[in-house]
Chain A
Amino acid sequence: MQAAPSQIEARGLARRNPDGGGWLLDHVSLRVAPGARIAVSGPSGSGKTLLLRALAMLDPVDEGELLFEGRPVRRERIPDYRRRVIYLHQRPALIEARVEAALRLPFALRVHRGRSFDRRRIVRMLEDLGREEGFLGKPVDALSGGESQLVALLRAVQLDPSVLLLDEPTAALDPEASRAVERLADDWLAEQPETRAVVWVTHDARQAERMGGRVLRIDKGKIDDAG
């Protein structure tokens, strides 16, 4: 048996600055192995978000390639790739009017066909986070920043991805809300620690420490691997 390939392997991903010379993302190579916990830190504008978006294949890149489970991702498989590797925006859009509808939304997409919304599972997860079933009926407009982030994270983890790419999920949250988000991510990892992986952009060194794992520093689009 050969060793399990990295879930994601980025080889020299690069993105040009469209407004003039230089690179926004400067030939970044990175392996996200099963079970990995990677914190990405760096000054603002250093390319952290771009790196995560490139890993989710959400932006066009000018050079480099991305392998998933040892193979390049073909165009038509990209939605399927994004089912397995989910990127979460710093300020998530919840789209629907109420929490439950927002959580049900992904199941209307073709890539999730054959699966359905598991309300009991969500209620259980909410209980673990100290919230009651009634939370599902809340209008999304009435949610706090922390609650919105929780809903977005729940919406992602219920799809059982292999990799979560979290873009400063707690940047705008108070410490208590941050802990709840961290806990949800932690629980999700703990369910299958040897296969799931998370890449987490954070400003907060202590958070990086709490979440454990490797810390990648990125500056001017380049990785300075300290981990």
Chain B
Amino acid sequence: MPDDAYINLDFLKLAVAALLIVLSATISLLLRLGLERRLLLAAARTVVQLMLLGLVLKWIFDHDQWYFVLALGAAMTLVAGWAAVRRVERRYAGLLLDSVLAIWVTSWCVTAVALFGVVRVEPWFLPQYAIPLLGMILHNTLNGISLGMDRFAAELAGKRAEVETLLALGATRWEAARGAMQAAVRTGMIPTINTMMVIGIVSIPGMMTGQLLAGVDPFQAGMYQMMIMFLIAGGATLGTVGVALLGYRRLFTAEHQFCPGRILRRD
């Protein structure tokens, strides 16, 4: 069992690591960086947020009921949908709903593939699998969606004359939007592709690190990481396609008209 090799951390051990925060804050004071307050706040938030997460997860692991797992997953998904929109520069009415919908459908489908098709967890809602898998997929889908939405609206706003010229020449709304859709999906996929290109060369990815620390066989940990990368790539791609399709329906009418006035720039 991996547990044999696993070394538990207690607060005393953690305090040693926390000394590095104190060191960093001292450097900030000495160099007058003015970052010590933010650093301490960030450290405090890290402690509070992760303790809460630990408590919630422990509670859910102990209760081991499918509805608690789904409820936590739903909460995580809503936050992810909201966080994806928060970073977007250009907005339109319905963007938040589109974001939540796209992230919900795609990341849950991808997680379902992992739980039922790949890992084949029994029972499927086993929280130690379902929740971290969903979390990793959400995080990366969120990034893809966020970049994709931003690019889609920017592309349409910036190439308004081209889009309208195409429509005026008889293009369907789909033909007129295709360039922007391609740009959006490409932008949403690139970070994942770049990560996959250098994975394992520049650093050991987070999940694999965790498994190695827990004593899992390195080859198995690598297999898990491969699976996660494939899921993440799928989630980011599908999520970006989804959000671009939803946005397309909002910015083009069924009469093949483009409504650039609906795109608003954030102040």
Partner of B170, one of A18, A91, A93, A106: A106
Within 8 A of A (CB), among B210-267: 253-259, 261
Min CB–CB distance A155 → chain B (angstroms): 7
**Whose C-beta in chain A lies nearest to the C-beta of B160?**
A93
Given contacts A109-B175, A110-B175, contact A60 B166 (CB under 8 A): no
**Whose C-beta in chain A lies nearest to the C-beta of B171?**
A109
In the complex the two chains form, is A82's CB within 8 Å of B170's CB? yes
In the complex the two chains form, is A89's CB within 8 Å of B168's CB? yes
In the complex the two chains form, is A58's CB within 8 Å of B170's CB? no
In the complex the two chains form, is B255's CB within 8 Å of A82's CB? no
Contacts of A92 in B (CB 8 A): 161, 165
In the complex the two chains form, is A60's CB within 8 Å of B259's CB? yes
Does A156 sit at the interface, judged by CB under 8 A? yes
Contacts of A110 in B (CB 8 A): 172, 175
In the complex the two chains form, is B255's CB within 8 Å of A60's CB? yes
Min CB–CB distance B113 → chain A (angstroms): 34
- The interface on chain B, measured as residues whose beta carbon lies within 8 A of the other chain's beta carbons, has a size of 21
In the complex the two chains form, is A87's CB within 8 Å of B168's CB? yes
> CA of A44 to CA of B156 in the docked complex: distance in angstroms?
26
Does A211 sit at the interface, judged by CB under 8 A? no
Contacts of B254 in A (CB 8 A): 75
> CA of A41 to CA of B246 in the docked complex: distance in angstroms?
40
Does A154 sit at the interface, judged by CB under 8 A? no
Contacts of A75 in B (CB 8 A): 254-256
Partner of A58, one of B162, B164, B172, B175: B164
Min CB–CB distance B72 → chain A (angstroms): 43
In the complex the two chains form, is B171's CB within 8 Å of A79's CB? yes
Partner of A93, one of B161, B175, B258: B161
Does A88 sit at the interface, judged by CB under 8 A? yes
Min CB–CB distance A98 → chain B (angstroms): 16
Contacts of A59 in B (CB 8 A): 257
> CA of A80 to CA of B167 in the docked complex: distance in angstroms?
11
Given contacts A57-B255, A58-B257, A60-B259, contact A93 B165 (CB under 8 A): yes
> CA of A83 to CA of B172 in the docked complex: distance in angstroms?
11
Does A190 sit at the interface, judged by CB under 8 A? no
Decide if the interface of chain A is mainly helix, strand, loop or mixed.
mixed
Q: Would you give the 0/1 interface string for B160-196, flagging 1 where the beta carbon is closer than 8 Å to chain A?
A: 0110111111111001000000000000000000000
- The interface on chain A, measured as residues whose beta carbon lies within 8 A of the other chain's beta carbons, has a size of 29
> CA of A101 to CA of B113 in the docked complex: distance in angstroms?
44
Given contacts A109-B166, A155-B169, contact A60 B253 (CB under 8 A): yes
Contacts of A82 in B (CB 8 A): 167-170, 256
> CA of A59 to CA of B253 in the docked complex: distance in angstroms?
9
In the complex the two chains form, is B165's CB within 8 Å of A156's CB? no
> CA of A91 to CA of B168 in the docked complex: distance in angstroms?
13
Contacts of A172 in B (CB 8 A): none
Partner of A112, one of B159, B165, B168, B170: B170
Min CB–CB distance A219 → chain B (angstroms): 24
> CA of A111 to CA of B173 in the docked complex: distance in angstroms?
12
> CA of A185 to CA of B92 in the docked complex: distance in angstroms?
39
> CA of A88 to CA of B175 in the docked complex: distance in angstroms?
18
> CA of A91 to CA of B159 in the docked complex: distance in angstroms?
13
Min CB–CB distance B263 → chain A (angstroms): 14
Contacts of A18 in B (CB 8 A): 261
Can you list 27 residue pairs at the A/B interface with Cβ under 8 Å? A56-B168, A57-B257, A58-B167, A59-B257, A60-B259, A75-B254, A79-B172, A79-B256, A80-B170, A82-B169, A86-B168, A86-B169, A86-B170, A89-B161, A89-B168, A93-B161, A93-B165, A95-B165, A106-B169, A106-B170, A109-B166, A109-B169, A109-B171, A109-B172, A110-B175, A112-B170, A155-B169
Residues of A at the B interface (CB closer than 8 Å) are 18, 56-60, 75, 78-80, 82-83, 86-89, 91-93, 95, 105-106, 109-112, 155-156, 159
Closest 9 CB pairs of A and B: A111-B170, A93-B161, A83-B170, A93-B165, A87-B168, A93-B162, A82-B170, A106-B169, A79-B170
Known pairs A58-B257, A82-B169, A111-B172 / 14 extra A-B pairs, C-beta < 8 Å: A58-B168, A59-B257, A60-B255, A60-B257, A75-B256, A79-B256, A82-B167, A86-B168, A86-B169, A89-B164, A95-B162, A109-B169, A112-B170, A156-B169
